[in-house]
Structure 1
């Protein structure tokens, strides 16, 4: 029987170096992005020049080389390692006779295919519309094509249709922003309600596919093994998940915090997409502690860390305490793990001892500065003992003639209901 399964499109990865220090890395990454979008990378062409050609991105000779290789490799799409201008795309497609896909459009396609929640879908739709708006052209509309190519009447009709198309996209962007604003307001209200409850927030941030979701799931497995429904989606793929997930974590010492898994970053992340996902990253912006998860096994991990830091700063996320968690140490030869140096941890998210080390580090960073207070609670006030058992880290507990003595490390914000039972020292 004949196999009717659609075959992945064959793509040729191309780029101009433009004196970029991390050019090699971005080209490798572009190939990985292509695979994440179910494209079959069959070859690569580079041009080492200081700047791209204004009209065709590549120089004339390189365009011919790309054309010849594309024909030889039966290529369906030419993938470009930059965001091209509308005219560059049109000129290249005319010269090559093959579809052009630039880096920005590829990332937008991946995000559109992966967005699951209404919020993520709206954010991607806005970014796509903003990308499309300056790329409208009179020759793209049916009315212009139907009227033929030449005179002033046809040109005027085309321009009228072009303006109509632009207005339609502007209206669509406005409508989408309105829908997104309603969701953002709902989530802002939820965050305000959480802020009233003095439970600190920890946000996992980092490069896409660094292991943030795996880290979150392994923490949940260690601390909430009976609640598998709390697990988040994970896969060894760029942008496997785009949606922020928040879970409440209770430590063995009864301290609680909220753990959020945020969308991953990538180099040359489209500007419109960064802006669109500001709301998604609001969990990180309001966090008490960030965990920067790094793929330590990747030779380009320093570039990845820089990209993450620059993206966070561009979103106004800075001056928040951070743990640098160097993940996938099990895949890096001759690496000891877990190893802790201050707020830096070399670990493997798939190793229980490593996860325990990360949990201990989170505990120290979040709760290490909480004061230790002695309480004397009369035996008639059992509800106060229950409150402390449920909300604080009890270090010592004894039963004396005058009541229950408890030494506990406590968040000052939680002291109110048991303030009157604190023991004073002379």
Structure 2
């Protein structure tokens, strides 16, 4: 990135609009799992535009679909019949597992969660929401109000009453020392106790794996156990699949399926990877929930033809090339390789994750205290070595986030792991 562009950025954009790196880079183009900056430096991309470039950069199938659609019509709004929107909605409704599903398209995950909150509170006639500690659900007024991560919730004002539940972080907090079964039992008991002190909430919203929070997750089955309690009270379950959807976790197509013994969620939100960089988000819900609104509503840009064409092409490529299976296979190799490397680095508290969604928590050696400076140093060292990573973490945690495109091959996984190992060793 040139000094001129950085100066122009700072002069017209908000101070709180974060930039990575001491010397921020301008990414000019990409191909496959690699991107290039304005100075011609080539990087292996292990963050995919915040988990958004899901299949690959410059995928010919998507470029062709977008180009052909742009040559016909780019946009008409939801006031007119829209064949690509209907076709993608049909595919997503079927894949969701939600019976008699209806799909509403938005332009982002934030807007998708905002819509899900509107639907749930209207359907249940309650403005109380259950959310998970350490969670993140977007940057709108309602979604920051239910975000359980102080670093991403800039105001205490909210249109909703939010109550925070234990369980999203397995290795920290009052139940960390318990076995998985006892951890689930304690979290369920906490939920029961919480519900005994409040009027019935509209819904629980939860990320199956917390994204911005540092790729943390509860034991499999926690949300299934929660669901039994929620059902006793008629409380809905919203699965926020903005980061976990489309096979990224490898073992499942949706993150909720690790907790699915009682069936699919009542509502599910999605975004990021489905557009492979195009702006697509949405909500899937049972028909009686989706249809509960009694006033007019449209979406000017949600479901626009050009983004739907990209989404269809991307989803077809994902399924036809079994990228979920690739995520499971290559992700499994990568996480074991990273665990082996991290075992030699005292500053790494934990390597966790599933599929191609891997977190490396960095702390001051011998403690559970986050070392934000060390994590930033690793980020910088990785970039110098030709690897782009992400960062995250909640209260007193600092985590490096690894989430490459799902087409990552074994050689690229090994290349990235070697660069990351060297970056980790550099902070010792």
TM tier relative to shorter chain: under 0.3
Q: Which has the higher contact order (CA 8 A, sep 6+)?
A: 2
Structure showing greater Rg: 1
TM-score normalised by the chain length of structure 2 = 0.25
Higher helix share: 1
